[in-house]
Amino acid sequence: MNKTFNTDGYCDPAFDYMADLSGRLKDIKAMIDAGKYFTITKARQYGKTTILNALANYLEADYEVISLDFQEISSLSFENEQSFVAAFSEELLDNAKKLPDNTRKALNVLAEKTAAINSLQALFKVLKSWCAQSDREIVLIIDEADTAANNQVFIDFLAQLRACYLKRRKMPVFKSVILAGLYDVRNIKKKIQPDEGHKTNSPWNIAADFLVDLSFSADDIRGMLKKYEADYNTGMDTGRISELIYNYTSGYPYLVSRLCKLIDERITGMDGYPDKSSAWTKAGFLEALKIAIDEINPLYQSLKGKLEEYPELKTVLYELLFTGKPIPYTLMNDYIESAAMFGFIKNVDGTVVISNRIFETVLYNWFISEEYINSKIYNIGV
């Protein structure tokens, strides 16, 4: 099966051209070996699920790895403790490869809601018993953990995990817990319901800082292109093309793969680009860049949705693009923190900067078009 540049979900090296993750996996494993509990909080389409899947495979030789996705648990299951315990137990039964018989039996009772008390306390009693019996230390990975971040049952769940962490030197508990998502569950006020007010107190204050960079360097991109070149022998200058891609994306994983995919599948065969050799050039790259800027894709839709949900962020980005005034980068400012969390901005020498040249152009074009349309509507009204 021919490999492709994948922008439709997590990447698998058996099927997709992707950057070498081995260095990142080694760094994350070092945190796990040290018994750290932590979050992986990155913007949409930033490779979180890809790194989590690769990490689960990487750890299998040394740990019992349990990988869950909270998106697979319905919102109804987060409404009360009994429903959550049942749903969580069911997910464990479906995903754990090796469970002691007594643990499986206890989880089945919780999943079927036939326990005397379907409580988090009862669930964690089963989990701690499992950790004590397991031949290998257990690592718990939860993707999209912020799905239910504003529900009280989720906060209570975090409190139980925190208790496990604090007791880790006295009794067998999870070796490491990794929570991944867009929102940092250490600061769940970003995930609020308008009619419920602010819920800001998160018990996940024991989480270690996650400093592993998931963006791609120019060398990462070049390595990916070399794998492609080994298959197709286009004669491209992998160094030059990787630098071009990096200069416009700043290594944002989705944008990197999107540009490569456009060159490979859309530019190849267009007028003036009859084959892959002619497409993988600077001219071919610039054609792909035009498409990437003008199209509407899931990443842009997500970013647009965030600006509509948080209009104050739109004001910050507008000021950044059109006034030229330097804005100090401080996460003490809620709007700057949110803009960074959603992937709009980055910190360059203590100053707020738009994350990459593609975002800069897309946002600029959007804001200008809105001003034009609004002025036309105003003139018609007058």
Write the pLDDT tens digit of every residue in 248-283: 999 999 999 999 999 999 999 999 999 999 999 999
Q: In this model, does residue 376 exceed pLDDT 80?
A: no
pLDDT at 148: 75
φ, ψ for residue 90, nearest 5 deg: -65, -40
pLDDT at 380: 58
pLDDT at 193: 44
pLDDT at 247: 99
H-helix or E-strand containing 160? helix 152-166
| CA atoms of 334 and 364, how far apart (whole Å) | 23
SS3 content of the chain, % helix, strand, coil (to 5): 55, 10, 35
Instruction: State the chain's mean pLDDT as an integer.
Output: 91
pLDDT at 97: 86
Percent of the chain with pLDDT over 70: 93
| CA atoms of 336 and 357, how far apart (whole Å) | 19
pLDDT-derived band at 195 (thresholds 50, 70, 90) equals very low
Q: How many CA atoms lie within 13 A of 367 on its CB side?
A: 18
Q: In this model, does residue 357 exceed pLDDT 70?
A: yes
Closest CA to 75 of 190, 177, 193: 193
pLDDT-derived band at 184 (thresholds 50, 70, 90) equals confident
pLDDT at 317: 93
pLDDT-derived band at 379 (thresholds 50, 70, 90) equals low
Could you give the angle at the alpha carbon of 145 between the alpha carbons of 14 and 32, nearest 5°? 65
For 42-67, b/e burial (b = at least 16 CB within 10 A) is bbbbbbbbbbbbbbbebbeeebbbbb
pLDDT at 143: 95
pLDDT at 192: 41
Could you give the angle at the alpha carbon of 236 between the alpha carbons of 231 and 239, nearest 5°? 105
Q: In this model, does residue 59 exceed pLDDT 90?
A: yes
pLDDT at 109: 95
| Mean pLDDT confidence for 217-234 | 98
| pLDDT single digits (tens) 84-116 | 999 999 999 999 988 999 999 999 999 998 877
| pLDDT single digits (tens) 280-310 | 999 999 999 999 999 999 999 999 999 999 8
| CA atoms of 249 and 259, how far apart (whole Å) | 9
Using CA atoms, how far residue 247 sits from 25, 161, 216, 217, 349, in Å, is 25, 41, 11, 10, 18
Q: In this model, does residue 354 exceed pLDDT 90?
A: yes
Question: What does the block give as tokens for 103?
Answer: 């643990």
Q: In this model, does residue 80 exceed pLDDT 50?
A: yes
pLDDT at 19: 97
| Mean pLDDT confidence for 219-228 | 98
Contact call for residues 24 and 212 (beta carbons, < 8 A): yes
Q: In this model, does residue 157 exceed pLDDT 60?
A: yes
For 129-167, b/e burial (b = at least 16 CB within 10 A) is ebbeebeebbbbbbbbbbbbbbbebbbebbeebbbbbee
| Mean pLDDT confidence for 212-219 | 97
pLDDT-derived band at 144 (thresholds 50, 70, 90) equals very high
